[in-house]
Structure 1
Amino acid sequence: MNVLLCPDSFKDALSAQDAAAAMACGVLSAAPSAHVITCPLADGGEGSLAALIASTGAGQRQINVQDALGRPRQASWGWLSSQRTAFIELAEASGLQHLASDERNALHTSTFGVGELLLAALDEGAEKVLLLLGGSATNDGGAGMLQALGARLLDQHGNSLAPGGAALSQLSRLELAALDPRLASLTVEAAVDVDNPLLGPRGASAIFGPQKGASPAEVEQLDRALGHFADISAQALGHDYRELPGAGAAGGMGFAAKAFLNATLKPGIEMIIQQADMETLLASADLVITGEGRLDGQSLAGKTPIGVSRAAQRFNKPVIVLAGGLGDGWQACFNEGVTTAIALADGPMSLAEALPRTAELLEARCDSLLRLWLAARG
């Protein structure tokens, strides 16, 4: 019996790799002869780089870059030499998780470090980049990334703009002649897990600005600044991508990726499933177990368990989802190929009590599930 284990991370508790390992222990406890295949996954957000490296065998590289506030930090990226492909996770350079709560300032945080990661990939000889856009601390529309790659963003006096989204309101001229010429032949796929446009009530600033430290007044300020940036960009490029679904991802990095890097925007889970060659794994699996911290109606927008179940449907494979919690609308997952979904808790407990027990609970649920599965198969 082949059992495929392909969880996402369980936020604040376990990485996808650790979750898969705990699941494997439970499966093998109930079915020692089972052939267990682990394939940690992610949906393009935080942890996607680690999942890609684990599932593809890519090498892990590290360089010093600027974080979202311009401070030095060591960031990782992945290099799959056989495919001349780099894996770059925005959050490694400009991630919200690297800032204390009182350091979050969407007016001034920058994506400059993401541009530095792209330069490192180009120096390595990358022909393709998978750009993972989740978990950003920024709202600068990718302006910092462009500056790192050689673009000049100038105010009316010819001075370079300061870092951050607020400074974009002072943009007078966008000079792209000095952009790194190697970008012209680089294929970029950007992983997004939202379909928000750049601007407006569903835009980057309104929806994601508050979690990055923006007050209601600052949200309006940032939205106007991004609108001005979009106007100047459209004049320079001859194309306007502000309404593109996903343009608002990662504080407008979806917009910059499409407009300036000619990126293809794709749901992160689809990109990672493809890169991990999940179709081959699914074809030989008898049972698929996936999971993440929470399953609810919003999971249908592109979360890992739903991406897995949709892929498994094509092979008519049963899929079990293990979730830390089941929220409103979770039953809609049955229409997407999920066979059953089970919450981890084995009794009344708070989140604070559940988090340190996540590995134990995953192992126990997989043990019970495999015993039931074996009994049902006779």
Structure 2
Amino acid sequence: MHILIAPNAFKNSLTAQESADAIREGLIRSGLNCSTECFPIADGGDGTGRLIVEKCQGLWHEYNVHDPLGRIIRAPVGIIDQGKTAVIEMADASGIRILREDERNPLKASSFGTGELIRYALDRGVKSIVIGLGGSATVDGGIGILSALGVQFLDVNGKHINALSENLKYLNSVDLSEIDQRIFDCRITVLCDVDNLLLGSNGAAAVFGPQKGARPEDVPVLDAALAKLSDCVFKLNGKRMNEIVHGGAAGGVAASLNALLDAELLNGAEHFLKLTGFSASLKNADLLITGEGSLDEQTLQGKGPFAVAKYAKEKGIPVIGFAGKVPLIDQPEMNKYFNVLLAIGNQPEDLASAMKFTASNLIRTAKAAGSLISLLK
């Protein structure tokens, strides 16, 4: 038996690679007569870019950029495809993991550093840029990125406003006259791990603002700021930012890059698997094991485990899913893609405690699964 191990990261606990290693260790301990391949996956979330560069045997180059609060940090640009393509992780320059919990405030956090990374990629002469949006600290509609590329945001008097969400209430127009023209000679691909629209109750501010430190009273302010940006972009080029699927990703970055730079917004998981040659590894598999922190109906909205399970089921390969949390009630839609769902916890405990033992729980659950398979062979 050949088992392909392709988990996503277990958020805030294990990377995708660490998760895959733990599952393989459990299978080894079970004594199951099998071969394995670890193929850690990502879906546009934090860590996607790193896995792409590693799988494509690319190189990293580090640069000085500004973090979400304007401090100088080092952040990387990955180069693949013989120097033709740059890979950028928004989380590396503008990520929530950069900030202490008491520093998180999307009204004052900027995506400017990610724009600086894009500029550095252009300096290297790339013809394509892939951007992973997961893990951002911002709800600025991408104005920080655009500002780094030369876009001007002007008030009613034609004066430049600082590119922060809290200043968007003063926005009257968007000026592209000084934009770095090289960006239009470069294909921009944005990997999204959510499909939310920009505005409203399911939009960037309402859904993701609180996760990034927004207080309840900040959410309507952020939504109004993004609405003002959307109105100004519509006046500029007639594009409706709130109608763009995936537009709410990374606090509206996806919508602005699509509307102003003609960036292509893609499901992160599907594009990741295509870039990294997942299908070739799946050809040899008799069983697929995947997983992430929670496997439920939201998984079917384009998350990484769903993408690999769909590929496997199309080829008649059975799928086992490991997760910290699985549905209590049978889910017919989940059953179409996952033969078995296994919760890795072994006793009642709070989330923080459970996350400390993710690795050991994965090893134990994989060992049990391997032992069971051995009995049935």
TM-score range, shorter chain: over 0.9
How far apart are the structure 2 equivalents of 1:226 and 1:353?
37
- Write out aligned runs for 1:90-239 (5 A): 90-239=90-239
Q: Which residue of structure 2 aligns with residue 251 of structure 1?
A: 251
Quote how far apart the aligned CAs of 1:55 are.
2.7
How far apart are the structure 1 equivalents of 2:34 and 2:84?
35
How far apart are the structure 2 equivalents of 1:109 and 1:73?
15
What do residues 117-162 of structure 1 show as CA deviations (whole Å, max 9, x unaligned)?
A: 1112112222112211122211111111011011111223333212
Quote how far apart the aligned CAs of 1:83 are.
6.5
- Write out aligned runs for 1:1-378 (5 A): 1-31=1-31, 34-82=34-82, 84-327=84-327, 331-332=331-332, 334-377=334-377
Quote how far apart the aligned CAs of 1:107 are.
1.3
SS in 2 for 1:232: helix
Contact 2:32–2:370 (8 Å) recurs in 1: no
Moved more, 235-244 or 26-35: 26-35
Moved more, 30-39 or 366-375: 30-39
How far apart are the structure 1 equivalents of 2:126 and 2:32?
42
Quote how far apart the aligned CAs of 1:374 are.
3.2
Quote how far apart the aligned CAs of 1:329 are.
6.0
Contact 2:90–2:131 (8 Å) recurs in 1: yes
What do residues 205-225 of structure 1 show as CA deviations (whole Å, max 9, x unaligned)?
A: 122222223233322222222
How far apart are the structure 1 equivalents of 2:106 and 2:208?
10
How far apart are the structure 1 equivalents of 2:325 and 2:60?
33
SS in 1 for 2:77: strand
What do residues 238-268 of structure 1 show as CA deviations (whole Å, max 9, x unaligned)?
A: 3223221211111111111211221221121
Cα RMSD of the aligned pairs, angstroms, is 2.0
SS in 2 for 1:284: coil
State the percentage of identical aligned residues. Answer: 38
Contact 1:109–1:163 (8 Å) recurs in 2: no
The AA in structure 2 aligned to 1:191 is L
Contact 1:85–1:127 (8 Å) recurs in 2: yes
Contact 1:296–1:329 (8 Å) recurs in 2: no
How far apart are the structure 2 equivalents of 1:83 and 1:28?
39
How far apart are the structure 2 equivalents of 1:231 and 1:329?
44
SS in 2 for 1:265: strand
Quote how far apart the aligned CAs of 1:32 are.
7.0
The AA in structure 1 aligned to 2:172 is S
Contact 1:39–1:55 (8 Å) recurs in 2: no
Moved more, 186-195 or 141-150: 186-195
How far apart are the structure 1 equivalents of 2:197 and 2:182?
28
Moved more, 342-351 or 245-254: 342-351
Contact 1:297–1:328 (8 Å) recurs in 2: no
Contact 1:40–1:54 (8 Å) recurs in 2: no
Contact 1:76–1:92 (8 Å) recurs in 2: yes
How far apart are the structure 1 equivalents of 2:330 and 2:193?
18
- Alignment CA distance shift 1:336-1:94 (3 Å): farther
How far apart are the structure 1 equivalents of 2:18 and 2:330?
24
What do residues 63-92 of structure 1 show as CA deviations (whole Å, max 9, x unaligned)?
A: 221111111121223211437222211111
Moved more, 217-226 or 86-95: 217-226
SS in 2 for 1:229: helix
Q: TM-score with structure 2 length normalisation?
A: 0.94
How far apart are the structure 1 equivalents of 2:265 and 2:284?
30
The AA in structure 1 aligned to 2:296 is D
How far apart are the structure 1 equivalents of 2:336 and 2:89?
28
Quote how far apart the aligned CAs of 1:3 are.
1.4
What do residues 310-344 of structure 1 show as CA deviations (whole Å, max 9, x unaligned)?
A: 11112111111111122466734534411101011
Q: Tell me the matched-pair count.
A: 377
Moved more, 161-170 or 276-285: 161-170
